[in-house]
Amino acid sequence: MVFGGIGLIAYSLTPIFVSELNHMPIMKLFWTYIVPSTIFGLTMLVLDSFMQSRGFMKRITDVQNFANVVAERDYTKDNLKIRSRDELGVITNHLNSFYDETRDLLLNINQAVEDSLDNANRLSDNMKETTSSVGNIIDNVNTVKNMVEGQALVVDKSYSTINDMIKK
């Protein structure tokens, strides 16, 4: 805006420094060249200011909307487009970096949770299989125990019979 104002002054006063216009009376020069060029320059300055303000507000609105998306924890949106290399461009770049790093971190956490659930399910299946195997081992041990007890009864009977035979 400052440079636009300086340019406007320089543009408006240019007719004073043109040597072909030195013969013209100052009032005629003023009304014929300086006033119209000043009006034209002011119009351009106002339009330029309006366009810059409008573009600046558009970028501010984009940053604000993007910040709202991040605040709502929505990491499915695309990054902001960097439209300038000024302070807003730097802020936009930093917001995009924050957004990308947070999204990647959340994706990594989500993947780790899925991996943990898979491991827990495998462990649960292994525990069920182990429980079944332990049950089979217990059944086999009980069967062997019953057979040993049966053989012990037979041995006791044989011992009793042999003792009875020896006594007779």
d(CA 35, CA 168): 154
pLDDT at residue 83, rounded to an integer? 84
pLDDT at residue 13, rounded to an integer? 82
CB 95 within 8 A of CB 77: no
Instruction: Tokens for 116, please give them.
Output: 């943990």
Closest CA to 33 of 20, 14, 19: 14
List, for residues 68-100, the tens digit of each pLDDT value.
Answer: 988 898 888 889 888 888 888 899 999 999 999
Residues of the chain with pLDDT under 70: 1
Side-chain half-sphere CA neighbours of 37 within 13 A: 15
Q: How many CB atoms lie within 10 A of CB 44?
A: 14
